[in-house]
Amino acid sequence: MTMPTTAPAFADVTASDSTLRRFLHGLPGVDAVGLEGRAASLGTRSIKTTAKAYAIDLAISMIDLTTLEGADTPGKVRALAAKAVNPDPTDRTTPTTAAVCVYPDMVTTAKEALKGSQVKVASVATAFPAGRAALPVKIADVRDAVAAGADEIDMVIDRGAFLAGDYMKVYEEILAVKEASGSARLKVIFETGELSTYDNIRRASWLGMIAGADFIKTSTGKVAVNATPANTLLMLQAVRDFKEQTGVQVGVKPAGGIRTSKDAIKFLVLVNETAGEDWLDSHWFRFGASSLLNDLLMQRQKLATGRYSGPDYVTVD
């Protein structure tokens, strides 16, 4: 396998295990109290009605509408795809979602169902969610998804290797997956709830970006602690700083546990106040969610009509 090369700015950093470790452990330590305080403060910002309407539509357009269950069926995926293309059948001005995210074996079904739309097909891979498989198996998983038509690949890092300090193994796996992804955009999932410390989240963010991630993603949604304002704020700071240093823009995707419009808007405020307006676009920011869309649709109709619809207004996922 021919490995892609590292950006010249980091060629020295990735020259050996020791240089990579030195760089990652040389990153500034995270002030946990300051980080959490900043995230909490931004979460109290009030949003006026016109701005709220804009934010709700923006949030809808940023959703990776997701189903990642062992009981997924072609019918469920087709229904999810239909909802992604036309979230509110009573209001055709409602934006489409950014993508539908499925397991690799459901990519063909999703691709056919989304034909003719702008909605992307994202697929988890690399032995999601645990990532416990040999590299050739992970690469085969990615290639299957890409061959089936996936526009985006969501990979999980080897958290065991990362926590053991084997950063080069994680780096080389991301490089290999990036190559196997071809033209598909690569989202690198850290599973922040398993990384234990904010310092580790900062290190993982930089490791993923150096290795060529198009997005860095908080979580699989399969563990107890998923996306939080604080860990997302930390990752937004990382992509901002990376762009300032390299000129390369990397997206951010919080996933898991974001269920309400109020939560989504808080995250959008984090994006605007930390990374800036350049990231307020579905090309650079996504929500990994399954139930968030329903609440956004109900809040959207409330703003338009002054009342909530009945329980049959949105589909039950």
Would you name the residues annotated as active-site residues? Answer: 154, 217, 253
| 3-state class (DSSP) for residue 102 | strand
Token match 């920011």: residue? 285
Whole-angstrom distance, CA of residue 51 vs CA of residue 43? 15
Whole-angstrom distance, CA of residue 97 vs CA of residue 79? 14
Structure tokens belonging to residue 77: 């995926």
Token match 């955009």: residue? 185
Q: What kind and span of H or E run contains 121?
A: strand 120-125
* Alpha-carbon 234 to chain mean position: 14
Least Cα distance to 187 among 123, 134, 139 occurs for: 123
SS (H, E, C) 224-283: CCCCCHHHHHHHHHHHHHHHHHHCCCCEEECECCCCCHHHHHHHHHHHHHHCCHHHCCCC
Identify whether the C-beta of residue 149 lies closer than 8 Å to the C-beta of residue 107. yes
113: CB partners within 8 A, 6+ apart: 77, 78, 81, 82
Structure tokens belonging to residue 34: 């300051």
Name beta bridge partners: 187. Answer: 154, 215
